[in-house]
Structure 1
Amino acid sequence: MTSPTLIRRVGDASAHHFFGYYNKSNFDREDKRLLAQRVDRFTGDITGKEKATLGYFDLEANDQFHAIGQTTTWNWQMGSQLQWVGNSNRIIYNARTDSSDRDTPYPDFCSKLHDLDNGETRTLPLPVYVLSPDGHYALSVNYSRFMVTHKTIGYPASHQEPQLEKAPADDGIYRMDIKSGDYQLILSLAQLRAFDPRPSMDKAIHWITHLEANPSGSRFLFIHRWTERVEDETCFLHRLFTVNGDGSDLRLLECSDHPLPQLAADFDANAVGTFDYEKSEYQISHPMWKSDEEIIVWGPHDGAIHYHLYHDATGKVDIIGPDILTENGHMTYSRDGRWILSDTYPDANTNERILFLFDTHSQTRHDIGSFFTPPDLGKHNRCDLHPRWSHDNKRVCIDSVHEGTRQLYLADVSHILNDQSMARAANS
C-alpha cells in the first residue's frame, strides 16, 4: 500500500550534498544533526583530486550547514565513510596522506578523527570501512583493491595504483583501535582463499566488502568475493561470513558459487545493464545485523533468492516477506525489530526507485515515495537512495537526484508506525 508521507529536502540546494551508504545512520544520537558531504558537481568520474567538504546540517537551525574539513578520499557510493564515533561528539572520515613512504598497509590513505567539542582533529594510520557501534574499534580494508575489483567503492591512488596479488597473506581485514591507533591484520585473503576452497577461486582475484559489526561489537559479518572477470559484476562470486572481533571463530553462512558462462571468450561485457548485477539470482548483498545473532541479507539459499534472515549460531535460515520483498534493496531493521526499511533499484522502464517500510508483524509493505533517477547517470556515479533511520525511528534520510541535483531528503514515517501499532492494539 502507498502511505502519504511528508518528504522534504535538507538545506537550500546551493551545492550538491550526499551521505553515501545505508549501513550507518548519519543522524547524531539526538537526531538533531545530519552528516553530509558537500561537493561542487552533480556527477563525474573521481580521480582522487576532487575535494569534498565534510560537515553536518543543523536540523534545529534551518538546516544550516557546518563544515568541519575536506578530503579527496571519497566516491559517489560510500562517500568518505563519514560517520559518528559511538555515542560521542566525534566524527571520523577517510583522508589522503601527504606521503606515500609511510610504513602502513595502505600508505596513500588514513582516517581523520574530528572532535566537535574542541575542534581538534587527529590522524589515524588506516582508512576505515566501519566502526563498532560503541566506537572502540574500526575495521579497515584495501580501497586500492576495490579500484581493480569494484571501482564504485574504491579510492584512486595518489600517484600510481599498487600491484595486487590475487589472495595475499598480508592483505585482508585490519582491526584498528580508535583510542591508540594500533592495528593488526586479523583475517587475510589467503586465509579466506584456503577456507573451504572452490575450483572457481584458482585463477580469481579476491576481496572483502560489506563489513558490519553486530550491536555489541563482539562479532562482525562480511562478504568474501572473487572473480576472473572484474569488468563484469555478474561474474562475481560470493560468500557470507561472520567472525569474532579478533578474527577467531570464522563461520560460513552462505556460498553462491555457480558456473559462469560469461567467462567464454566471446562474451560481451558491454551488453550487461547497469543494474543487472544487483538483480542477479546469485547475488549476495547488503547484509545487516538485526540483533547480535541474526542477519538479514538479499541472497540465494536452497535454490531461491529472497530477503533471508540467518541465525548466526545455528545456521537456520528464514525467508522474510517471500511474496512481497521480491527484489534487492538496502535494508535495515528498526530498533524494536518489527520494521524493515528498504528501497528498490530503478525500474527498467520508468527509472523510478521506491522507498518503503515492511511491517514484519502484519506482513504489509508501505510505499513511502517514488524517486526518479536519470538513466544515463552511470554505474560508478549513480545515486542509490540508501535509506537510513533516525535513532528514534521517526524519520528516514535518503540521498536522491530526482530534482536534478544531488541532495539529502527527510521522510517523516512516524504516522505509519503509529497507525499500525494502534491497529494492532485494536485487533488484539
Structure 2
Amino acid sequence: MHNLQYDRRDFLAQLLSGVGAVALSHPAFAKAAKFPPTRVITRGPRHHWFGYYDKLQFDPSSRYVLGMEVAFEHRSPRADDVIKIGMVDLQDQDRWIELGESSAWAWQQGCMLQWLPGSDSEIIWNDREDGQFVSRILDVKSGKGRTIPSPIYSVSPDGKTAVTPDFRRIQDVRPGYGYPGFPDPHFKDLAPKDSGIFHVDLETGKTKMILSLDEISRMGTIPKQQKGIKHYFNHLLFSPDGSRFITLHRWQYPNGKRLSRMITARPDGSDVRVVIDNGFVSHFIWRDPSHILAQSKATPESRSWGDFLVRDVTQSKLEEIGKGVLDSGGHLTYLPGNEWILNDTYPKGKDRIQTPHLYHVEKGKRIDLGHFPSPKVYTGEWRVDTHPRFSPDSRYVCIDSPHKNEGRQLHLIDISQIVGTS
C-alpha cells in the first residue's frame, strides 16, 4: 500500500466541494496546507504536556483539554518537584485554568491525570501525601475534592474502580515511568509475593493486591529464562466493558535489557491469560472487549516488529494489520467506531521528525497529520513522544511536542474533515 498524503490539492478540493467544514475560525489555525489545521494551545515560558495515549484528556463535551505544567525540562524529576494540574478551554482563546498540583509524576506518563470515566466534571491524578502515593479526585465545576489512599493507573469505564502497579518498583527498573522518593522495599527480591497489581475501589478507597509478581513469574513459560531476572508490571488498561484488563509482565536482565509478555485478567485478578508469550510486545489498545491491537513480532526470530490484532485468549494467533503502512512503533488507539486507527512515530531522519497519523482500516490507507521535529536534547527519560489522544467527538487530536523555544507544549490538530465529523 502507498501512503496517502493529505496535500494542498486534496484539502482545497474537499473544502470547495463542501465535504465538511474545517475549523479555520481560530486565528492560530493554519490555512490550507499540506496537513490538517494545527494550533498550539499552551504557551511558554512554562512547559506543558499530558503524557500517555490511552487516557481521557478531553472532557465529554470536547471543550476542555487536561494538561500538566512544569518549570524545567531535561532532567529527572525529584521527589520535591511539583507540577501544576490544569485544563485548556478551547472555547475561550485556549485559556489555561489551574486546578491543582502533584509531586508524584514522571516524564512519560505524567501523574496519570485523566477525566474520570462516566463523569462530565471529575478528574483524577496521582500525588503523594504523608509518606505514601495517593490519588486525588476533583470536581472541576464545584471545586470539591477527595483523596484515595492509593495511586491509580487505569480506571474502569464506569469510573468506580481502578488497577495500579507498584510505582516504587517501576521507578527502580524503569525511571521515567515510576515516581521518585520512595525506594522499592522489595528491591532485592526478583519476584516478591507482596508486590504486583492492586485493585482500588474509588468509592471506598479500599485497596487489595490481586496479582503478585511471584505468581506471574511462575505462570507459563518465560522466554529466555535465566538467573537474576527481575520481574515487574507496567502499562495497565481496562477493556471497553470493564470486564478485564491488560498488563505487560516485564522482566529485566542483569545487563538492563528487558522482555515482555501480554497478560489479561479479570478485575479481581482471576482468569489470567498470557495472550502474547513470545517476549516481544509493546504498545497496545483494546479494539473491543474480545480483541486487542498490539505491537509484537510475528515470531521471536523476526527482525521487524508489526501491529497485530489478537483475540483475548491464551497464546493468541497474531494477525498483522497495516503492514508497511501503519507504523509498527507508535502509540495506537481506535477512534470511536473502529473505522480509524490513530498512531504516531518515534523521531526519524536527521531532523528527528515525529509523524502522528490516521490509518483507515478497511481501505488500508494512511493519512499523516503533521511533521513535528524533536530536538536531540529530548532523548531518553525526558523524551517527548507525541502520544496522540482524540476528543470524544473525534474532531480533534491532541499531541505533546516541543514548540520553537518554548519547550514541550500541547498541539491541537483538527481532523474533522478527514474523518467526517465536521
Q: CA deviation at 1:183?
A: 1.4
Report the TM-score, using the length of structure 1 for normalisation.
0.86
Tell me, what secondary structure is at the counterpart of 1:340?
strand
Instruction: Give the C-alpha shift of residue 14 in structure 1.
Output: 4.5
Q: Return 322-331 or 67-76, whichever deviates more.
A: 322-331
Q: Which residue of 2 aligns with 1:42?
A: 73
| Partner residue in 1 for 2:262 | 240
Of 221, 225, 230, which aligns to 1:200? 225
Percentage of matched positions with identical amino acids? 33
- Please name the residue that 1:16 is paired with: 47
SS at match of 1:11: coil
Does 2:416 align with 1:410?
no
- 1:110 alignment partner, one of 131, 134, 140: 134
- SS class of match (1:145): helix
Q: Give the conservation status (yes or no) of the 8 Å contact 1:193–1:201.
A: no
The corresponding residue for 2:308 is 308
* Cα displacement (A) at 1:325: 2.4
Q: Which moved more, 1:315-324 or 1:193-202?
A: 193-202
Is residue 72–residue 96 contact of structure 1 (8 Å, CA) maintained in 2?
yes
Residues 372-391 of structure 1: matches in 2 within 5 Å?
A: 372-391=373-392
Q: Does 1:95 pair with 2:127?
A: yes
The one-letter amino acid of 1:308's match is F
Identify the residue that residue 367 of structure 1 maps to in structure 2.
Answer: 368
- Partner residue in 2 for 1:76: 107
| Partner SS, residue 323 of structure 1 | coil
Alpha carbons 2:341, 2:361 under 8 Å: kept? yes
Asked whether the equivalents of residues 331 and 342 of structure 1 are also in contact (C-alpha less than 8 Å), the reply is yes
Give the CA RMSD over aligned residues.
Answer: 1.8
1:348 deviation in Å? 4.4
Q: CA–CA distance in 1 between the matches of 2:226 and 2:237?
A: 24
The alpha-carbon deviation at position 286 of structure 1 amounts to 1.1
Query: How many residues are aligned here?
Result: 383
Deviations 1:287-312 (A, max 9, x none): 11011111011111335431001111
Structure 1 equivalent of residue 328 of structure 2: 327
1:25 aligned partner: 56
1:193-245 CA-partner distances (Å, limit 9, x unpaired): 11014361542110011110001100011110002236x3xx21110111111
Give per-residue Cα distances to partners, 1:134-157, cap 9 Å, x unaligned.
211111111111122111101111
Q: Does 1:225 align with 2:250?
A: yes
Evaluate the alpha carbon distance shift between residue 64 and residue 244 of structure 1 in structure 2; reply closer, same or farther with a 3 A threshold. same
Aligned counterpart, 2:10? none
Q: CA deviation at 1:125?
A: 1.1
> What is the one-letter code of the residue matched to 2:5?
T
Q: Which residue among 167, 175, 186 is the counterpart of 2:210?
A: 186
CA distance in 2 between counterparts of 1:227 and 1:292 reads 30
Instruction: List per-residue Cα deviations over 1:226-283 (Å, max 9, x = no partner).
Output: 02236x3xx21110111111111111111234xxxxxxxxxxxxxxxxxxxxxxxx4x
Q: Find the counterpart in structure 2 of residue 298 from structure 1.
A: 295
**1:151-205 CA-partner distances (Å, limit 9, x unpaired):** 11011115x5534221111111100011111111111111101101436154211
Report if aligned partners of 2:155, 2:162 keep a CA contact under 8 Å in 1: yes
Question: Are the counterparts in 1 of residues 229 and 252 from structure 2 also a CA contact under 8 Å?
Answer: yes
Q: Is the 8 A contact 1:239 1:254 kept in 2?
A: yes
- Would you say the 8 A contact 2:325–2:366 is kept in 1? yes
1:279 corresponding residue in structure 2:
none
1:15: how far off?
A: 2.2
Unaligned runs of 5+ in 2: 7-34
SS in 1 for 2:382: coil
CA contact (8 A) 1:353 1:373 kept: yes
Partner of residue 7 from structure 1, selected from 12, 19, 38:
38
Identify unmatched segments of 5+ residues in structure 1.
Answer: 101-107, 258-281, 422-428
Alpha-carbon distance in 2 for matches of 1:212, 1:411? 25
| Contact 2:172–2:184 under 8 Å retained in 1 | no
Quote how far apart the aligned CAs of 1:326 are. Answer: 4.6
Contact 2:169 2:232 in 1 (8 A): yes
1:403 CA displacement? 2.0
Distance 1:312 1:32 in 2: 34
